[in-house]
Amino acid sequence: MAVIPQFSIAQGYKFLNFGALGAVHVTPLAYAPIVLAAGWWGYGCAILLGLTGSLAHSLWHGLYLFTILEWAMVAAIVTFLMRQDYIGKLPMITRNPLPAVLVAFSILWPLQLAYLILDTGPKGLAQPDLLATVWSGGAPSLFSNLFFAGIVGELTRRIAPYRWFNRTPRRIPPYATNLNRRLLFALLPMTIFGIAILFWANTRIVSNAATELVIDQMTRDAKNAADVVPFFIRTGERLVLDLSSDPSLYGRDIVDQTKHLSQGISTIPYFNQLVFFDTYGRPVTGYPENDVNLLELTAGEIAAVQNGLQERQLGHELVFPNQRDAPVLVSFVSPVIEPNTDVLIGVLLGRANVVTSPLMIPAIKSLQGRLVGSGIGFITDGQDRIIYHPDPNLVQKEWQPDFSAETLRTSSSNGIAYSDRDDDGLRRLIYYLPVQDYSWKIVIEVPFSSVLVQAYKTSGPLTLLLLAVGAIGILFLLAISSRMTLPLGLLAAATEKITEGNLADPVDIDGPDEVGRLGEAFERMRTRVRSQVESLAFC
């Protein structure tokens, strides 16, 4: 296993479920044959071993285009650096195996990001945070594999130096052939690095601001829904209390009782079912469904009825229907008491639909994505069961907040905002708000893509401006470098002419700066030497 090449980015991550890279992804001797071949035999053998290793990995883990490219590039980069004959301290350092593989790492790791973008397509660009996580997760494996290979190369070179390739430095590096290139080699990377830092800072700041903006919007939406829930429950309790106080329920005329229930439903569009029970908890009549057996009363409703008979108190109970896709109901219970004699007549039960109730419509709308972008919201009860969800298949499912997740700052003292990932690995923002005085909770989930949309709207023009300024700055850097080194090049050419005995061409360089004064000094020297040569010629 140690000599079989292990691709530095773990395949099988499916991009959205990458997992954690473990020790199995570090194969210490994976790149060692390439380093040894580069030091012993050269390009051909090193690249051949790289291709062979990549094919072996493909047979083991599956074929990926970048696998072959990565191993071929490792062989080419390491062999070139170890066999180059440039003079200078930096080329001398990179002729050693360990620095050579570290340079290869610095080149290959950024290319892996490009591979991930090409491999994942728009899905990856929509989740740059996950893309960065997968990319950074491959760095330890790639670095470890190359580092161990470099150590093996260093040990082998010291144990058997006579077999190792050694070349005498003869050539000047391309970046050191003239002063202009030296300046560009020193300043251009610093300029690009500075632009990259500004780009990262701009993106980071805008992303944080967009996250806070989305969380504030989630907070408002959750608060709007949380304010509706107490009003919905209190209204139901008040309505069922008013209906239970009607004298028509005190008598024994079932027709009058049914008529009263019918008027209660038609007058105020709140309840969709009313049922009257006697003092023994037996159903007497109901409307619109008169056959109470068809209502399939739950154990919680029956317990609420018994509690109303015994304690003579108002109450409400959630009803989870047995039918698929059926909405959750809330049953309100009120004792029916004759006010003059304080005699208990029975109990009135009223069912209200959580989804279709006019009082809950504002809350439902705020949880269906109209106010929170592409996010969704739902409601849970005191037992963490989902009461309402845009996806009916999730109703009655259990949902609990992840208090161990990364918490985010929010403007609400009661709510909790945090960030986690869904089952597909996509990052999302979650806001969790308990309803005041009740056990219900409001939950809003927003995909992180909503934050990216907000960030793009803000940072897009700034990014373009930054790139434009950076490009202009690089052009100015090139122009300034050429402007600074051109007179020195002319002076060098004039000096060569003087040493060759050509004293006829003037040194046309002047100015108040050091280069100008040096040019004037060369011109005076040329004139003096020429006059002396001419004087000697007349003698």
pLDDT tens, residue by residue, 33-61: 899 998 898 888 888 888 887 777 667 66
In a domain, 169, yes or no: yes
Q: Given this model, what pLDDT does residue 106 score?
A: 92
Report the percentage of the chain scoring pLDDT > 70.
88
Domain check: are 39 and 160 in the same one? yes
Q: Given this model, what pLDDT does residue 200 score?
A: 83
Assign residue 524 the CATH number of its domain: 1.10.8
In a domain, 435, yes or no: no
Does the pLDDT value for residue 347 go beyond 90? yes
In a domain, 157, yes or no: yes
Domain check: are 238 and 339 in the same one? yes
d(CA 410, CA 418): 9
Q: Given this model, what pLDDT does residue 334 score?
A: 93
Domain check: are 54 and 152 in the same one? yes
Domain check: are 151 and 264 in the same one? no
Task: Please list, in sequence order, all residues whose beta carbon lies within 8 angstroms of the beta carbon of residue 79, skipping any fewer than 6 positions away.
Answer: 37, 38, 42, 43, 46, 47
Does the pLDDT value for residue 154 go beyond 50? yes
In a domain, 533, yes or no: yes
Domain check: are 155 and 276 in the same one? no
Q: Given this model, what pLDDT does residue 113 score?
A: 84
| Residue scoring higher pLDDT (490 or 380) | 380
Q: Give the type of residue at 381.
A: D
State how many domains the chain has.
Answer: 3
Q: Given this model, what pLDDT does residue 24 score?
A: 41
| Residue scoring higher pLDDT (372 or 468) | 468
Residue listed under structure tokens 């440039």: 86
Q: Which of 69-73, 299-303, 311-315, 534-538 has the lowest mean pLDDT?
A: 534-538
Q: Given this model, what pLDDT does residue 14 score?
A: 40
Domain check: are 164 and 251 in the same one? no
Last residue of a domain, one of 133, 148, 174: 174
Does the pLDDT value for residue 22 go beyond 80? no
Does the pLDDT value for residue 87 go beyond 70? yes
In a domain, 306, yes or no: yes
Q: How confident is the model at residue 455 (pLDDT cuts 50, 70, 90)?
A: confident
Does the pLDDT value for residue 66 go beyond 80? no
Domain check: are 141 and 238 in the same one? no
Domain check: are 164 and 41 in the same one? yes
Domain check: are 43 and 163 in the same one? yes
Express each pLDDT in 169-226 by its tens digit.
888 888 777 777 777 787 778 888 888 888 888 888 888 888 888 898 889 889 988 9
Does the pLDDT value for residue 141 go beyond 90? no
Query: String of b and e for 302-331 (b: at least 16 CB within 10 Å)?
Result: eebbebbbeeeebbbbbbbeeeeeebbbbb
d(CA 70, CA 57): 12
Last residue of a domain, one of 330, 353, 376: 353
In a domain, 292, yes or no: yes
Q: Given this model, what pLDDT does residue 125 score?
A: 66
Q: How confident is the model at residue 539 (pLDDT cuts 50, 70, 90)?
A: low
Domain check: are 60 and 147 in the same one? yes
Last residue of a domain, one of 327, 353, 379: 353
**Cβ of 14: how many Cβ atoms within 10 Å?**
11
| Residue scoring higher pLDDT (371 or 415) | 415
In a domain, 224, yes or no: no
Q: How confident is the model at residue 274 (pLDDT cuts 50, 70, 90)?
A: very high
Domain check: are 29 and 160 in the same one? yes
The 3-state secondary structure of 476-529 reads HHHHHHHHHHHHHHHHHHHHHHHHCCCCCCCCCCCCCCHHHHHHHHHHHHHHHH
In a domain, 526, yes or no: yes
d(CA 281, CA 348): 10
Range of the domain at 281: 233-353
Domain check: are 349 and 237 in the same one? yes
Assign residue 266 the CATH number of its domain: 3.30.450.20
Q: Given this model, what pLDDT does residue 3 score?
A: 41
Residue 430, SS3 per DSSP? strand
